Structures are given as structure tokens and as C-alpha cells.
Amino acid sequence: MKNLIELALEDLSSSDYFLFQTHCGICTVAYGNRTVRFSKAGEEPATEQKKLLFDALYDQEYRTARQSAVRSAAEHLNLCPVCRRLACNRCFLICEDLDLCVECAERLGVKGDLVISDSV
């Protein structure tokens, strides 16, 4: 599941901040999109050695931010076994036999309960 989200993750990071997002394939709401500032954002490395350190630090913080984006998106998204799209908890139904996204459930005439419904 996390691998799928990693594949679908869009990278909107810049040299100053890290930002990733994944979209629900049904309602297109974005998840996992929390901007994390690079700890050395705005600082110019004074020397070549400092630049190497900054680059390594950037890599490390990039990976951490990416992992946390995947983790937070995973709490909101489910894989629909029929259309293979990522569906958020508001677009995904817990059904008796097979849990499905709302669109597939409707197409296949299956009833179920939303993972999260706004009325609760």
C-alpha cells in the first residue's frame, strides 16, 4: 500500500522546502501535503565543504519529509481492487465481500458503508 502511494506521490519540493502530495482518484482531494521547511533554507553555504554538508542535509531531510508524507497519505487512502485507483476514506466503502471505491460500488450495484462519512 505504501509503495503504491510512493509511486503516486507528486513531488512539489523546492530548494527551500519539501512538499509532496497524493490525490484521491475519485474526488481528487490532495493528501499528505504538509510543507516542511529545509532547515538551512535561505542560507548560502560559505565554503565548498559547507555546500556538500548542506546538500547531504537536504537529501536526508528530503527523505524524512517524503516518508512522513507517505505515512500521512496512507491513513487517508485505500486501493480500490477493481479500478486500482487510490480512494480516500470519504470515497471508499466497506462492503460485505470486497471493499470498493464509491464509483465501482455503484457500477457493480454493491452496497456498503463509507470509511468516513460526513454525517457521523
Q: What is the DSSP string of 46-58?
A: SSHHHHHHHHHHH
Interface residue with Zn ion among 5, 24, 70, 73 (CB under 5 A) is 24
Interface residue with Zn ion among 83, 98, 114, 115 (CB under 5 A) is 83
Q: What's the min distance (Å) between Cβ of 100 and Zn ion?
A: 6
**Looking at 1-120, which runs of residues are DSSP E strands?**
10-11, 17-18, 20-23, 30-31, 36-37, 77-79, 86-88, 92-95, 100-101, 112-114
Interface residue with Zn ion among 1, 27, 56, 108 (CB under 5 A) is 27
80 binds Zn ion (CB under 5 A): yes
Distance (Å, rounded) from C-alpha 76 to C-alpha 17? 23
Which is nearer to Zn ion, 27 or 41 (by Cβ)? 27
91 binds Zn ion (CB under 5 A): yes
Site residues for Zn ion per CB under 5 A = 24, 26-27, 80, 82-83, 88, 91, 101, 104
